[in-house]
A and B are shown apart, each in its own frame.
Chain A
Amino acid sequence: MTELSKKFAQRINNFTSQIRLRLSQSQWTNPGPLAVILFLCVLASLFYGSYPVTASRTLGILINLLLPSGWLDSSALDLKEIAVITIIRPPRILVAVFSGVALGMSGTALQGMMRNPLVGPDLVGVSSGAAFGSVLGFWLGLFEKPVIILAMASIGGCCALLLTMALAKMVGGKSDGLPLILAGFFVGAFFLACVGLLLYVNNPFYPRGQRTYNIIYWLLGMFRGADSAKALVVTLTTLIGGVVLMGLRWRINLLSLGDLDAKSLGIDVSWLRWLLIITVSFMVAGQVSVSGVVAWVGLIIPHCARMLVGPDHRRLMPTSALLGGLFVLGLDNFTRTVIKGEIPVGVLSGFIGTPLICFLFWKTKTKGWNES
């Protein structure tokens, strides 16, 4: 490495740590402002879309909905516009927000549990396993039973995660560091290939004509076709899993110290780890079964949150959740309103996420990422 780039790296290091220092001592440590921002963004997302409804009319419809009937004259409202505001946009916004929340939280939990800031639900194979489970469910014709699909997705995700951890353990003895990442990469690739195989094996539920759409949907993640049933699934799983993770968030601090140390502090490590594995699989399954594999979000959001509030999971967990929701909602709004097409959300998140993680990888090279 040349002298120049060394200096450059040093400068960036100082810069980012300064940012962190400044941010972590400011009001950001409180998740309140973030929550308000997220709420405002959700509201604002209702106003924009490919079907043009002017802001004042949207506001009128919303006010009309909120107030008891009869207070305002509702005859002036366009039925089509009401449908857009109340039926079409909300499910999609909900799916986007809660997918982001689920990914942000499960990524934080996984990174803490595995003591490795380079893992995320997609990189340890959970997302791929969940995708395989739900695609298998659809393939078997269980279209109408979202609970069974969700269960299969959870089992698939859980199996993939356990496989990854078992492989890493067999390889490395201690199941953190590089073996974990590689094992996750292998297992994830395997399950994604299985998804591809299922989508190509002829089946009435996956007709040839929709094959391309299905592959993009499952492998890259899409919010197209979000309806109220999907919104319900992802909202419920995220809320249930989120409550559990919020309860356990300080315990993740303990777990991140390592097995022996955590045991010596008097906590039941294996029980706690099982609880986290199951919760994370459940949350990710909910997200994947409604919007496919959305990569990179679960990896980068915890890093961004850590820059804002520091590594303590008590503050990190809510911040990751809110940031994840904001990030994915922003991506989805971008496709919906700016591009007016359907770029898979996984493509966009990869587009933003990979340069960011490369930058962080470079910046934090000395901080024990490379198992030494």
Chain B
Amino acid sequence: MNLGDFSFGNLGHAYLPDKWIFRNYGGEVSRGQILSLLGPNGSGKTTLLKILLGALKPTEGTVKVNGQVAFVPQLFQVAFDYTALDMVLMGRAKNIGLFSQPTKEDEEASLRALEQVGLAEMAHRPFHEMSGGQRQLIIFARALVAEADILILDEPTSALDLKNQNAILEWIDRLARQKNLTVIFSTHHPHHAYAVADRALLMLGESNYAAGAVNDVLTESNLSKLYELPFRRVCYEYKSQSVETLIPVLRPTKTALASAESY
């Protein structure tokens, strides 16, 4: 097993005896690859992420990790008005002893990480004053400064506008391809997974899942089953390249209905 490899098998969790949220789940992702988790609300995505992270002990099954894991939580409110640098510095926790304080080197490493995400000039600004996208990037920097091999992100694109969603996806891609990090992220948008992920895991039901390469798993039929919506594969041309994606067919809009009635 290489550094940065990640696999899990036979995974099952029940908060109450015999009330399984999911069972017999399995999957793997290797160094430099991106795995995306898809599932409807309440399917146990966060529970699965917590287990993969090691913050929650699974009721059954094993998680095999080789390397340091860092976590990027969903956009969150911090109780206190820390600066961006304070936030990034917290990523060094593993390297700092119980009763010691961060040193100059730690601060420099944090500044470098902030520079990498392009927010160096914001280092001393309060975290509260930043936009959602900037906060997400700062949490990215925190994961970078932890020198982790595996990055787990919980719905990184939720609560962001389209421009920032795109920026975050680009960052995920860059971290995996350039930094050679293993990335696992959960999302509600199949096209996000389609855009960047190599592998995908669909949480279809209690012990029913689909895992594998994106092209095999993210099919129209699988997604339709997952979200109970029709999905269509769409091809379009961008910068003279043919791009493929999946879009959900949402319920007809008012204008569509109106035009239908006029016929």
Which residues from chain A sit less than 8 Å from chain B, CB to CB? 112, 115-117, 176, 244, 247-251, 253-254, 256-258, 260-267, 272, 306, 310-312, 314, 367-368
- Please tell me which one of the listed residues B50, B73, B86 contacts residue A253 in the complex, with CB atoms under 8 A apart: B86
Across the interface, A306 reaches (CB within 8 A) one of B50, B80, B98, namely B80
> Is B90 in contact with A254, judged by CB distance below 8 angstroms?
yes
A265 touches B80 (CB 8 A): no
A112 with B80: CB separation less than 8 A = yes
Residues in A whose Cβ lies below 8 Å from that of B3: none
Nearest residue in A to B90 (C-beta to C-beta)? A254
CB atoms of B70 and A258 under 8 A apart: no
**Interface residue from B80, B102, B146 paired with A311 (Cβ < 8 Å):** B80
With A248-B98, A312-B86: A266-B81 Cβ-Cβ less than 8 Å: no
Does B113 sit at the interface, judged by CB under 8 A? no
Q: How many interface residues does chain B have, given as a range?
A: 20 to 34
| Pick from A112, A257, A272: contact of B90, CB under 8 Å | A257
Q: List 26 A-B contacts (CB under 8 A).
A: A117-B79, A117-B80, A250-B96, A253-B82, A254-B90, A256-B79, A256-B80, A257-B90, A258-B76, A260-B50, A260-B55, A263-B55, A264-B53, A264-B73, A265-B71, A265-B91, A265-B93, A266-B94, A266-B146, A272-B98, A306-B80, A311-B80, A311-B81, A312-B82, A314-B102, A368-B79
A265:B146 contact, CB within 8 angstroms: yes
Please name all residues of chain B whose beta carbon is closer than 8 Å to the beta carbon of A112 when the two chains form the complex: 80
Q: Is B77 an interface residue (CB 8 A)?
A: yes
Residue B101, interface by CB 8 Å? yes
Listed from nearest, the 5 A-B pairs whose CB atoms lie closest are A264-B71, A247-B99, A311-B80, A266-B94, A115-B79
Known A248-B98, A253-B90: A264·B55 in contact at CB below 8 Å? yes
- Closest B residue to A314 using CB positions: B101
Q: Which of A250, A261, A263, A367 contacts B101 (CB 8 A)?
A: A250
B69 within 8 A of A: yes
Given contacts A254-B93, A264-B70, contact A247 B80 (CB under 8 A): no
**Interface positions of B from 48 to 62, Cβ below 8 Å from A:** 50, 53-55
Residues of B contacting A257 in the complex (Cβ-Cβ under 8 angstroms): 76, 78, 90
Asked whether B83 lies within 8 Å of A261 as measured between CB atoms, the reply is no
